[in-house]
Structure 1
Amino acid sequence: MKSPDGVRAGSDVILSRLMALHPKIIDLTLDRMWRLLAALGHPERALPPVIHIAGTNGKGSTQAMLRAGLEASGPRVHAYTSPHLARFHERIRLAGDLVSEPALAALLDECEAANGDVPITFFEITTCAALLAFARTPADYTLLEVGLGGRLDATNVIDTPLLCAITPVSIDHQQYLGDTLPEIAGEKAGILKRGVPCIVGRQDEAALDVIEARAARLGAPLLVHGQHWHVTREGGRLIYQDETGLLDLPAPRLPGAHQFDNAGMAIAALRHLGFGEAECAAAVTDAEWPARMQRLSHGPLADLAGRAQLWLDGGHNPAAGQAIAALLAERAGPQTHLVCGMLNTKDVAGFLTPLAEVAESLIAVDIPGEANTLPAEKTRDAAAGVGLAASTAPDVATAIARIVADAPDARILICGSLYLAGRVLRDNG
């Protein structure tokens, strides 16, 4: 598992201890979760109504839009997401507010005491801490984002969610989920529950076939993109239509054509729950989600960039590379230069291939403090292999300085990993 950078106060001590005592690898099973949840008095049975979100790309953005829509008319919303960017407590929102550092430290301490010295993964024990906090804090909804996969993910402990959602499924995390799209879709579809409706985003046919087959076995009604609801971009606006009618809404605040699909999922969920146009509009206009084509205009790194545009995105798989490339292609402007750091578990060439069509060069960096970083030299070689002029730098600041020395009016995109994105946000203040 990854280093819990950004934790403050007493929680950093507890998390460091947990990382030392328990397995650091991803180990997909629910046995440890059930044991610890029982020791904690089964908080997962006392949550406000749960909306459970799985998928490969767009989970975080969809959750952010759904939360914005729900909160627009007053409901209090819990939210659990991963990984964090700048600070660990970003993973847990209690009734709309980030959990405080003292409260997080107390929750983790309580979970550790209940767990004893029995092996458990870092993600599992932090998920238990989140569920404990959610059960003790009044709210109207709980949004749970799957960490990895779905079927055996630590969040998949809710017997009867109010609603499920599966965002687009693509190839990623093959070492845990399988090498083919149907295998991966089967893991994502593992969150489906008997009789519980599920919003399904845009899918390849091979993935949709698997999702539909499992839903049929469970009697889980599906609301599928392209069948039960439609979303398009027309004249710079978002047009959504389902059996109850048409909505003509502003473009999503989060940039990129792919965010129209994510917004469509959030709107489909809101409509299913009985919310109206005002909440749907808030979902697309009010959502905030850092490191998704985020413009950095202030801070030390932005100052270093000078006149150059500085952008940040945490996408890290081939589908994300395609989405980023599409956005860059449609935005006329200066030449794009990449600063890229990736994990050694990712399809680097798959991510970079579409970007090679829209970028002039790439400077590869290691991800600071990340044990699973891909060495910058290997990222450079992969970039060269797909046709990008590539070099390495010791850090992001040096890479930015080199780019602006040669192209002071460039567009610079820092990309390749959410862990790199988190480091950049911390370094940039």
Structure 2
Amino acid sequence: MSRDTVLANANVVLDDEIVRADVHIRDGLIADVCTTPTSVASEDFAGDYLVPGVVELHTDHLEYHFSPRPGVQWDPVPAVLAHDAQMAAAGATTVFDAVRIGSEGATSNDEGAAAAAHRLVDAVMAASDGDMLRADHAIHLRCEVSSADCADVFSEFVDNPRIRLASLMDHTPGQRQFADVDEFKRYYLGKGTVLAENIDAHIAFRRDQSAQFAVRHRQLISGLAADRGITLAAHDDATQEHIDESMSLGVHISEFPTTVLAAEAATANGLQVVMGAPNIVRGGSQSGNVAAAALLERGFLHVLSSDYVPSSPLQAVFQLAADHTLDLVDGIKLVSANPARAVGLDDRGEIAVGKRADLVRVRAHDMPATERHLHGRQVPIVRAVYRAGARTS
């Protein structure tokens, strides 16, 4: 026999307004949003916000937990559990775990990178199948198309049903994210993956690899993705030509465009533009490319992802509201409804009858104004997380 869970006395962020209401949950779904108080409450929110769970399309943190230091690999299942706990604490109820394929080094077939990707995907599957996780997890394959082994490794994963998103990346110096070659040098020398005396040879190698493989691999991977219903994203679009190429390949998402021109062209062609929430929080790109706020102002930004800071999506949208830049209703769509629809998950992402009860209780903590935030800062505190109606955090 079904029993209602009632989350009462909440400021509920709906698709078009915020209302003081009770939300009834039955069998993992939202059964009612009632503005008339009920006599029985499972939990009294005392005016805290109730928002849809964050749908996270691009987070690098699984790989960070798996390889916490250069040359160190952690047990992959505990790494997945630690990553999952961190994402849930940030309000994420659906997580697309980014796993890189395609070697970056000066060998044409880096078996270590491919093996690591398999270990991570297998660990996500084992943890999910074992009911160990707080969030609902899928895999986002980040495909370094300029690498010799990228298409071969992709073909090893393509029939796995947990592969729901694939992005076409090319981090070759001199284009896209690294149009400024000095920025490429700063980034890779800072990571410690390339020695200063080897950086010029590494750049030449990466350029040669891209010339040989990038176009061919984009075409092969896009064809395989289309046949399996895997959503396809392009990474670091910079020019009209990049968007034209994306359209010819069946791309649906433009991740982290580096220029206003590319974001405008992507939007005009119906692509969903994803930017990193840290870009909003910090006030600009750490790579020196276009600021996410500039795209938001022009209507060319549809989704925010955590990228390298798990807590940043909710932090970004609550601060945008505090700054009077974007109201909370529209801000929450950037991290819930819009990313869900971008990957075909129509059963979640908003608080509405019949949708999955993936929900987050948030208390907004006010802090003093700063030079950047003249109306004050607002820090969201995640107090509870529910996935399909069950409290997970």
TM-score by length of 2: 0.31
- Richer in strand (by share): 2
- Structure with the larger RCO, 1 or 2 (CA within 8 Å, 6+ apart): 2
- Richer in helix (by share): 1
